[in-house]
Amino acid sequence: MKISVIGSGYVGLVSGACFTEFGHSVICADLDQGKIDALNKGQIPIFEPGLDQIVARNSASGTLSFTTNVQEAVSKTDVVFIAVGTPSRRGDGHADLSYVYAAAETIAKSMNGYTVVVTKSTVPVGTGDEVERIIRETNPEADFSVVSNPEFLREGAAIDDFKRPDRIVVGVEDERARTVMEEVYRPLFLNQSPLLFVNRRTSELTKYAANGFLAMKITFINEMADLCEAVGANVQDVARGIGLDKRIGSKFLNAGPGYGGSCFPKDTLALAKTAQDYDAPVRLIETTIAINDSRKRAMARRVIAACDGNVRGKKIGILGLTFKPNTDDMRDAPSLFIIQALQDKGALIQAYDPEGMEEAEKILSNVTYCDSAYGAAHDADVLVIITEWDVFRALDLPRIKDVMAKPVLVDLRNIYRKSEVEKQGFFYASIGRS
């Protein structure tokens, strides 16, 4: 099947590349000339394990190509996926759908024969209706269907998530579109991946509901962590105790500095705003947003407390900048809020991240970037683990202690056991463990 994907960012590039693994022919289109030039040279603009090999393999075979000519890409394909950004809109927190609507207008002018237009971007309920209206108004003679097919990709594990998904949610309004989408995902369906067909609005809401629930789960265990510290309990044991209940499950129960990234912050906000517009407020989500926002800067206060209440003029070593491991994504990363709060109190920041420093430099100022964890620890008054990269899980603690000004470790991801760290002569602080 011939597929085009409008938008060659994280979702568009991963989706387009993985579709070629199923035997489809894919054109990825993007208006960013620099991005397309890089992709045509085999340079991947994002860090996602395994993506570079898939792109190289299918580009060489001719089943995957990249272009800035969106109109031509659309005209050559049977299915068009819209995978453009939907950031939070300035001022009110609603999802900014301007890129989606611009893509819809371009598609309307370019489609050739019956075309299935699939919204893969995360969009509020009713967006598919508006996309359909725009196409119909722009090209009254167009023969098309509009489908919702949200992505459920975890950054750092996106390839596996796409090829072996928990479910594939497809929102359709007519049988022709359903038949086409069954063909698009036929290789996965044969592997018993659940293909869930619903109406379009249900599909759109399912994406937001999933992210909202996971954000709540993270926030819940973070609040339990604070309670554990107050009463002398261990949040990791609490998480195990409740996670073994199959109704709850063990995932997303790791206490930490709060959630970040490209999805949870903007999607929870958009869900709350949509619910308010329909006079059906989701108060649990609203509270989740408020708690998470305050938690990130609260983590800075833990670091300050570990420095006897004063970090002015002190060197703080930061391990991990990205919002999670195995990505270079800095969007709404807890490190941004923590570092800013520490700098506001006069701290000097030196940091290391295996993949995120180039992106971090675009956002953070007055930060010294180091070439290793040991470089970030050098002459530091405190070392703070913010992101749980594997490379930080087995640090040479005696070596760390030797290069630090003071042996103080603040572990915001509970990577280490307190007894092991204190045995090496450190003062150790973690999350939710007395």
One-letter amino acid at 356 equals: G
| Helices assigned H by DSSP within 111-199 | 127-138, 158-163, 175-184, 186-190
Query: Is residue 336 located within the same domain as residue 207?
Result: yes
Mean pLDDT of 338-363: 97
Is residue 220 within 8 A of residue 248, CB to CB? The reply is no
The chain-wide mean pLDDT, for the chain, equals 96
Distance in angstroms (rounded) separating the CA atoms of residues 180 and 111: 16
Backbone torsions φ then ψ of 282, nearest 5 degrees: -105, 90
What pLDDT does 333 receive?
Answer: 97
Coil, strand or helix at 350: strand
- Choosing from 196, 214, 241, the residue where a domain stops is 196
Q: What is the spatial distance between Cα 96 and Cα 114, in angstroms, rounded to a whole number?
A: 28
Predicted confidence at residue 232, as pLDDT, reads 96
Residue pLDDT, tens place only, 7-42: 999 999 999 999 999 999 999 999 999 999 999 999
Are 374 and 245 found together in one domain? yes
Residue type, 398: P
Domain containing residue 399: 199-434
CATH of the domain at 284: 3.40.50.720
Residues 266 and 140 in one domain: no
Q: For residues 272 and 369, state if they share a domain.
A: yes
> Is the predicted pLDDT of residue 270 greater than 70, yes or no?
yes
Strand 367-369's sheet: what is its strand order? 367-369, 348-352, 315-319, 382-385, 408-411, 427-429
Q: Which of 130, 165, 196 is the last residue of a domain?
A: 196
Same domain? 141 vs 221: no
Both 160 and 262 in one domain: the answer is: no
Asked if 261 and 135 sit in the same domain, the reply is no
Please indicate, yes or no, whether residues 33 and 123 belong to a single structural domain of this protein.
yes
- Tell me, yes or no, if 263 is annotated catalytic: yes
Which of 18, 228, 263, 307 is the catalytic position? 263
Q: What percentage of the chain has pLDDT greater than the value 90? A: 95
Nearest-10 crossing angle of helices 235-243, 200-231: 140
**What percentage of the chain reaches a pLDDT higher than 70?**
99
Q: What is the mean pLDDT of residues 369-385?
A: 98
Q: Please tell me the distance from the alpha carbon of residue 65 to that of residue 238, in angstroms, as a whole number.
A: 49
Q: Is the pLDDT of residue 434 over 80?
A: no
Same domain, 223 and 116: no
The number of domains in the chain is 2
312 and 344 in contact (C-beta within 8 Å)?
no
Residue with token string 């989740």 = 288
Q: Is 93 exposed, middle or buried (0-12, 13-18, 19+ CB in 10 A)?
A: middle
Whether the per-residue pLDDT at 283 is higher than 90: the answer is yes
Between the CA of residue 239 and those of 130, 221, 337, what are the distances in Å?
43, 7, 26
> What gap in Å lies between CA 170 and CA 150, rounded to an integer?
8
Same structural domain, 390 and 338: yes
In the predicted model, is pLDDT for residue 188 greater than 90? no
> What pLDDT does 92 receive?
82
What pLDDT, on a 0 to 100 scale, did the predictor assign at position 91? Answer: 76
Residue 327, SS3 per DSSP: coil
Q: How far is residue 214's CA from residue 176's CA, in Å, rounded to a whole number?
A: 34
Q: Is 317 helix (H, G, I), strand (E, B) or coil?
A: strand
Buried b (16+ CB within 10 A) or exposed e, 140-175: eebebbbbbbbbbbebbebbebbeebeebbbbbbee
Of all residues in the chain, what percent are helix, strand and coil, respectively (each to 5)?
A: 45, 15, 40
Paired residues of 428 in beta bridges: 409
Beta carbons within 8 Å of 124's beta carbon, 6+ residues apart: 94, 95, 97, 204, 208, 270, 271, 273, 274
Please, which residues have CB within 8 angstroms of residue 381's CB and are 6 or more apart in sequence? 307, 311, 314, 315, 316, 404, 405, 406, 408
90 and 205 fall within a common domain: no
- Provide mean pLDDT across the span 51-72: 96
pLDDT above 70 for 191 = no
DSSP lists the bridge partners of residue 4 as 27, 80
Shared-domain flag, residues 183 and 208? no
CA 183 – CA 104 distance, rounded (Å): 23
How many beta carbons lie within 10 A of that of residue 30, not counting itself? 24
306-337 tens-digit pLDDT? 999 999 999 999 999 999 999 999 999 999 99
The pLDDT tens digits of the residues spanning 390-415 come to: 999 999 999 999 999 999 999 999 99
Q: Give yes or no for residue 156 having a pLDDT over 80.
A: yes
Of the CA atoms within 13 Å of residue 314, those in its CB half-sphere come to: 26
Q: Which of 148, 173, 196 is the last residue of a domain?
A: 196
